[in-house]
Amino acid sequence: MTTLTTTCGPLHGKVALVTGGSRGIGAATAVRLAREGADVALTYVNGKEAAEDVVRRVEALGRRATALRADAGDAGEAAGAVERAAGALGGLDVLVNNAGVGVLGPLEDLSLTDVDRVLTVNVRGVFLTSQAAAARMPSGGRIITIGTCMAQRVPGPGGTLYATSKSALVGLTKALARELGGRGITANIVHPGPTDTDMNPVDGPYAAGQAAMTAVGRFGTAEEVASMVAYLAAAEYVTGAEFAVDGGHAA
């Protein structure tokens, strides 16, 4: 494999942690941050082989990488991933809260187990990881959270629980921006629209309807979302903001 050494770029010398980085938006983000010069740690739960493949892709760009098994639904593992990443790569400058779960369905069919799992992973896990990251980030730190277009517009029934969990992250992001701004740490949230991933493929049974809800009439790519994350990882005067990468879903 040819190795391309990344010796420059806006994130040169930085260390990033991408939760849920073994596939989809997380994997694309890990690789994009490496292209911008960062060393990258990523977490996974079940996709060990996929995570190791992302590590190889990052290393092929001349950056250091490590894959850590950590369940965002476990309080100790969610916070502990920050310490493990920092220990492996020598610090932490950028946190990308990407790990999440989605349970869609009629309101009356959602069980307490569904509610607990979604809120535990999507809200508590992000809070604890952000808390741990903020405790050790230097000035110039970046916390970037992956939300959803459904936090801005819910186009139909069945998304109550998922939209609730992701909407909570908007408040968390704005509060983090206020709390950490004086330390030179920014916090922002990115809302992807329908995006081609393993969990929601562009040729899936519900894809046509989702694409029709966008202004551009198509799915986005994981790389398009990752490009916004990379921008925010380097941006200095942007914080407490929401960014839609949704093809006009919320228009």
Which residues are the active-site residues?
162
Q: Within the chain, what is the greatest distance between any pair of CA atoms?
A: 54
**Amino acid at the residue 83:** E
Long-range contacts formed by 83-86: CB under 8 A, 24+ apart:
83/132, 83/136, 84/41, 85/15, 85/17, 85/41, 86/15, 86/136
Torsion of CA 10, 14, 15, 20, to 10 degrees: -10
Reference 70, options 116, 118, 22, 4; nearest CA is 22
Give the amino acid at 100: G
